[in-house]
Amino acid sequence: MPCQTAVLAIGHSARDSFSILLEQGVFLEPKPFSVGVRAEHLQEEIDRALYGKYAGTPGLPPGEYTLSHRENGRGCYSFCMCPGGQVVAAASEQGGVVTNGMSYHARAGRNANAALCVSVGPEDYGSGPLDGVAFQRRLEREAFALAGGGFAAPVQLAGDFLANRQTTALGRVTPTYPRGWQFCKLDEALPPFVCEMLRRALPRFGAKIRGYDAPDAVLTGVETRTSSPVRITRGEDLFSTTVSGLIPCGEGAGYAGGIVSAAVDGIRAAEAIMARWKPLD
């Protein structure tokens, strides 16, 4: 459909669109993102660690946290923390496992969960425009195969992960991932540098939130869709550097990292259109 201006606001998992845009001559470049696992703890344990003796007081909301650790130029951080929530299946392709998280409005679930992810960049997976997509897909397919197919997810307890041994039984925390799960060694699903960084970060997070690195905390793999692996390059005016009238916008374009920042980028896109087409005084 011919038009003078188009705002392209695709999602960060629109892999088919990335390929089509590249074939049509739109300039794309790889960008950093993060991969890792979903970490689950008992919500009451998180509340106790954050609120102390006031945990359980009527009116106090379920505890939330944000954690980060940086070492040797690489970061590990919590992302999309879901109090009283559950781990969800978020695959968009056959033969791949992708985890995400959510909370219902009441946030009344037994477990808390959050992505626990390690930063990756083109130096880790290649400099081609779609090399980051290929990297994500490889991890997702390895997780799918490792857990036996059928979109089951690989699971390992934190204590076993830290000791690099096979998990044989659950503790107090039961995984909430709905498509089934299989005890696996996450080292077989994630790159060595990701596992190494997770092992360095977990005890540090345990020092900040008591019990975060508890032996029976559940780690479910793999979390690969934290943000877009692609940036659809645009100029200072927000328009594409290669296609006249095209405004790449939001998460899929590589200019936002969540719902709110994507909405703000949409406002900026509208302002850019108004600035270009405003009537002359």
Q: What is the pLDDT of residues 51-77, one digit of tens each?
A: 999 999 999 999 999 999 999 999 999
DSSP H helices in the chain: 15-23, 43-51, 122-125, 131-146, 158-163, 192-208, 259-277
Cα–Cα dist 80/78, whole Å = 7
Reading the block at residue 76, the tokens are 């590990």
N-to-C CA span, the chain: 31
Q: What is the pLDDT of residues 96-121, one digit of tens each?
A: 999 999 999 999 999 999 999 999 99
Whether the CB-CB separation of 138 and 38 falls below 8 Å is answered with no
CA geometry: angle at 201 spanning 195 and 207, to 5°?
A: 150
Q: What is the pLDDT of residues 222-277, one digit of tens each?
A: 999 999 999 999 999 999 999 999 999 999 999 998 889 999 999 999 999 999 88
DSSP state of 149: S
* CB burial of residue 183 (10 Å; 0-12, 13-18, 19+): middle
Whether the CB-CB separation of 30 and 45 falls below 8 Å is answered with no
Cα–Cα dist 236/166, whole Å = 51
Cα–Cα dist 206/116, whole Å = 13
Tokens 């009537």 belong to: 279
Q: What is the pLDDT of residues 162-188, one digit of tens each?
A: 999 999 999 999 999 999 999 999 999
Cα–Cα dist 161/152, whole Å = 19
Cα–Cα dist 217/265, whole Å = 37
Q: Among 276, 280, 279, 277, which residue's Cα sits nearest to residue 235? A: 276
